[in-house]
Amino acid sequence: MLTKLAMTGFKNRWRDYLVLFSGLIMSSAIFYMFEALATNKQFLSSNSGISLAGQIFQFGSVLLTIITLVYISYANSFLLSMRKRDYGLFMLVGARKSKIGQLIWLETLLVGITATIVGIALGTILTVGVSKLLVSSLGLTLHHFAAWYTPAASTTLLLYVGLFLLAGFFNLIALTKTPALKLLHSNDQPNRPRLKPFRQLVEVIIGLISIAIGYWAMSDLKNLQMAGIGIALVTIVIGTYLLFNAIFVWLVVLLKQFNFAHRGLNGFTLSQLSFRIRNYTKILSIVAMLFALALGAITVGMGFHRQVPLMANSSNAYDMGIVNATTAQKKQIAKLNPTNQANYHFKVGKKVVYYRASEFNQHPFTTMDQKSKNQIDSVAKQNNAKQLAKSMTSYQLSQLQASANQNMSQVFLSDAAYAKITSKQSTLTIFATKDVAKHMNALKHLAASQQRRDKGLTESMLGGRYGNYIIVNGMYSGLEFMGFFLGVAFLAMLASCLMFKILSGAAADRNRYKMLNKIGTRQSQLRAAIRKEIAVLFILPGIVGVIHVLFGLKMFTFIMVGSPYTGIWLPFLIFAALYVIYYLITVSIYRRIVLE
């Protein structure tokens, strides 16, 4: 009988359960996606150019576990709030507390375990989809990546089941120890904020100091190493929560004192925000951290994506070298519209490659140091072969040669001395384009044709910008993938948390909007009030998250070529567009629930 009553209550509130269930599924799916990278040590070691990547992911796992703990705690409180009235009625009709306790325990575990299993399956599907999308669109190279990773699934299942076991135990104690009448009226008791100036001022000061310490730790990560990440993790999380807890309550109460609060439905909107203000501060702190993690991961991913051409261009002044180019290869080179091209004749001795110095006088070979181009025109004009050989970066020239000649030294001779060498003459054609990445497909065809003629030549041995692009892309592909992948995962987690918080209160808000509708409030005013209320909940964590990202990017200044802030507007713009889409979806769903 009791089970039938419980099922009836479930059917009557299936929409609320759907919100809860979908939120838990998304949470476990995102946790699995993160753990699929964090627990895969082979993937981290083979795809990351940073030796501390494993430890960084461990800190990330701790942070995500804390977020998950708070999220499940909040989801459990929502489940409890939905069932308090039902359980109170069961007690009034004579149901034994032991039976109700069993029902609470089973219901909590059933919801949690089912959502976790479905979430792991969904996380596997999302991992496959996101990885394929990123690899195909960015041209990444990954090693030892697995969409299904058993240790990640086990970690996710154990964590969520353990948390729901604890949740069921606390639910059992909370409901069986509470009088029936109090359960019946529990949802009618608002958590009204009360200003405590001294306490809130202390929270603001401690919060600002904590965040400042975290920002300092991130900016000095080169010296602090892993300790800096640990310090930043603890201080920024604590500081963010304290600032939201102090300032947001203060802000809402303070805004009610201004004249604009009495215009239209502004007072109603502020009252809506203050009705469950304490719960908002917790979830907004989580959302702010997730916002920073998602935006930061995408920004860093794009930053590493920019590193590939930058590092390739800094390694050599030429894209590729072709020995004894065929007619077809010459046509392919011409189609690339090279900005710089030269042909050098050479002869091969036992351990030496002989070049004509006069050709280098006419077409100086450009070398690259780590900072800028360095042309040797002044030396070349002197027509001094010895000085030319000393000034030339032999490594860059040798890497443009055939595989058999790359380890030989270069000697530059006068035309007369060169003519005395009896070896067969060959031609080295070198060229440079404006953008290596833009011409990758054409360069691959050229490389393939050259490799067919020179069996010992591999892509990594080609030298030049193209060969170095292949090498660097292999090094940074894993970091790019981690950045974009985690950015998408954290963005989905962010949306799940924020949408769940807003939509979980929609059922209770429905009656208030019905009352406003009955007293003649226009639908346009109601819709505007909804947009304003939800906009505040999206904007506040967004502002804090952006500030965290702007300071957090300083962590990557010592591992990136150039500034990590270069081109930052693009990931910010993309993320803002996705964030607005989530906002519009949330407004639409909420409006359908609360408005007739």
DSSP per residue, 61-107: HHHHHHHHHHHHHHHHHHHHHHHHHHHHHHHHTT--HHHHHHHHHHH
For residue range 155-186, what is the model confidence (pLDDT) as tens digits?
A: 889 988 888 888 777 777 766 666 655 555 55
CB atoms near residue 596 (< 10 Å): 8
Over 70: is that where the pLDDT of 1 sits? no
Cβ count within 10 A of residue 219: 17
Q: Which pLDDT band holds residue 392 (cuts at 50, 70, 90)?
A: very low
Q: φ, ψ for residue 288 (rounded to 5)?
A: -60, -40
Q: Quick one: pLDDT band at residue 493, thresholds 50, 70, 90?
A: confident
* pLDDT: which is higher, 459 or 147: 147
Residue 420 has pLDDT above 80, yes or no: yes
Return the CA Rg of the chain: 32
Residue 409, H or E segment: strand 409-413
State both tokens at 128.
Answer: 């496959």
- Give the integer Cα–Cα distance in Å for 65 and 59: 10
In terms of average pLDDT, the best of 91-105, 116-130, 295-309 is 116-130
DSSP 438: G
Q: Give the Cα separation of 387 and 360 in Å (integer).
A: 12
Report the pLDDT value the prediction gives residue 160, as an integer from 0 to 100: 86
CA-CA distances (angstroms) from residue 98 to 95, 103, 172, 447?
A: 9, 9, 9, 75
One-letter amino acid identity for 386? Answer: K
Average pLDDT of the residues in 197-222? 85
Q: Please say whether the beta carbons of 297 and 63 come within 8 A.
A: no
Residue-level pLDDT at 17? 67
Confidence of residue 545 (pLDDT cuts 50, 70, 90): confident
Side-chain half-sphere exposure of 472, counting CA atoms within 13 A: 23
Mean pLDDT for 395-418 is 83
13-17, 126-130, 311-315, 414-418: lowest mean pLDDT where?
13-17
Ranges 162-171, 528-537, 556-565: which has the least confidence: 556-565
d(CA 79, CA 171): 10
Position 295 pLDDT exceeds 80: yes
Residues 531, 587: contact at Cβ < 8 Å?
Answer: yes
What integer pLDDT is reported at residue 234 of this predicted model? 84
Instruction: Determine what percent of the chain is predicted with pLDDT higher than 70.
Output: 76
Report the SS3 class of residue 437: helix
> Which of 25-34, 102-111, 194-203, 423-432 is the most confident on average?
423-432
The better pLDDT of the pair 257, 451 is held by 451
- Asked whether the predicted pLDDT for residue 596 surpasses 60, the reply is yes
The whole-number average pLDDT for the span 566-591 is 84
Output phi, psi for 519, to 5 deg.
-85, 5
pLDDT score recorded for residue 371: 41
Give the pLDDT confidence score for residue 385 in this predicted structure: 44
Of 209 and 452, more confident: 209
Rounded to whole angstroms, the Cα distance separating 166 from 168 reads 5
Q: 3-state class of 140 per DSSP?
A: coil
Question: What is the overall mean pLDDT for the chain?
Answer: 77
Q: Is residue 386 scored above 60 in pLDDT?
A: no
Name the token pair of 297: 């991961």
Length of the chain: 596
Q: State the Cα–Cα distance between residues 289 and 502, nearest whole angstrom.
A: 18
Span of 114-128, 276-290, 514-528, 569-583 with lowest mean pLDDT: 276-290
Judged by average pLDDT, the poorest of 53-57, 303-307, 505-509 is: 53-57
* Least confident residue range of 384-393, 463-472, 565-574: 384-393
Would you state the pLDDT for residue 209? 92
Q: Report in angstroms the alpha-carbon separations of 1 from 7, 8, 82, 94, 176.
A: 10, 11, 20, 12, 19
The amino acid occupying position 263 is R
121-140: average pLDDT: 78
Mean pLDDT lowest among 276-280, 349-353, 436-440: 276-280
The string of DSSP codes covering 525-581 is: HHHHHHHHHHHHHHHHHHHHHHHHHHHHGGGGTTTSSS-TTTTTHHHHHHHHHHHHH
Look at residue 388 in the predicted model and tell me its pLDDT. 46
Where are the strands (E) in 198-290, listed by range? none
* Residue carrying structure tokens 């006068």: 414
β-pairing verdict for 340-348 and 352-356: antiparallel
Question: Could you tell me the pTM of the whole model?
Answer: 0.68
Tokens 């690339």 appear where? 336
Give the best-scoring range by mean pLDDT among 123-132, 209-218, 396-405.
Answer: 209-218
pLDDT of 390 = 47
More confident residue, 465 or 247: 465
- Check whether 123 has a pLDDT greater than 50: yes
Does residue 294 contact residue 575 with C-beta atoms inside 8 Å? yes
Give the helix/strand (H/E) hosting 169: helix 150-176
CA–CA distance, 501 with 283 (Å, rounded to integer): 7
CA distance 54 to 37: 10
Is the separation of the CB atoms in 116 and 163 below 8 Å?
A: no
CB-CB neighbours of 222 under 10 Å: 12
- Encode 347-401 in three state secondary structure: EECCCEEEEEHHHHHHCCCEEECCCCEEECHHHHHCCCHHHHHHHCCHHHHHCCC
Q: Which pLDDT band, with edges at 50, 70 and 90, does 257 fall under? A: confident
Task: Identify the residue with better confidence: 75 or 397.
Answer: 397
Task: Of 376-380, 457-461, 480-484, 507-511, give the lowest mean pLDDT range.
Answer: 376-380
pLDDT of residue 389: 43
Q: What pLDDT, on a 0 to 100 scale, did the predictor assign at position 476?
A: 72
What's the per-residue H, E or C state across 13-70? CHHHHHHHHHHHHHHHHHHHHHHHHHCCHHHHHHHCCCCCHHHHHHHHHHHHHHHHHH
| Phi, psi of 76, deg, nearest 5 | -70, -40
Q: Report residue 490 CA to chain centroid gap.
A: 6
Tokens at residue 163, please?
Answer: 């948390």
Rounded Cα distance, 532 and 508, in Å: 18
Kind of pairing, strands 409-413 and 352-356?
Answer: parallel
Q: Is 299 helix (H, G, I), strand (E, B) or coil?
A: helix
Q: Is the pLDDT of residue 542 over 80?
A: yes
| Non-local CB neighbours of 323 within 8 Å, separated by 6+ positions | 401, 402, 426, 427, 428, 429, 450, 454
